[in-house]
Amino acid sequence: MDEAVKTARMSAELHVPATLGALGDIAALVLRLAGSAGLGKGASYRIRLAVDELATNIVMHGYRGGDGRITVRGRSGPGRVQISIEDRAPAFDPVQGRLPPEPHTAPERRRIGGLGIHLALTSVDEFDYVRRDGRNISTLTVMAEGTDPCPPRP
Among 10, 12, 14, 115, binds other proteins (CB under 8 A): 115
Interface characters, 28-47, with other proteins (x: CB under 8 A) = --------------x--xx-
Asked whether the beta carbons of 79 and 39 are under 8 A apart, the reply is yes
Q: How far is the CB of 72 from other proteins (least distance, A)?
A: 16
- CA atoms of 99 and 53, how far apart (whole Å): 13
- CA atoms of 1 and 128, how far apart (whole Å): 38
Task: Label residue 98 exposed, middle or buried (CB < 10 Å: 0-12, 13-18, 19+).
Answer: middle
Alpha carbon separation from 31 to 21, 52, 61, 142, 146 (Å, rounded): 17, 11, 25, 12, 19
Q: How far is the CB of 137 from other proteins (least distance, A)?
A: 22
Alpha carbon separation from 109 to 7, 102, 127 (Å, rounded): 47, 10, 30
Q: How far is the CB of 118 from other proteins (least distance, A)?
A: 7
Asked whether the beta carbons of 49 and 120 are under 8 A apart, the reply is yes
Of 37 and 49, CB closest to other proteins: 49
93 part of the interface to other proteins, by CB under 8 A = no
Region near other proteins per CB under 8 A, out of 10-18, 61-69, 110-118, 125-133: 110-118
146 part of the interface to other proteins, by CB under 8 A = no
48 part of the interface to other proteins, by CB under 8 A = yes
- CA atoms of 44 and 30, how far apart (whole Å): 8
The interface with other proteins within residues 6-25 (CB under 8 A) comprises 20-21, 23-24
Interface characters, 59-88, with other proteins (x: CB under 8 A) = xx----------------------------
Q: How far is the CB of 150 from other proteins (least distance, A)?
A: 12
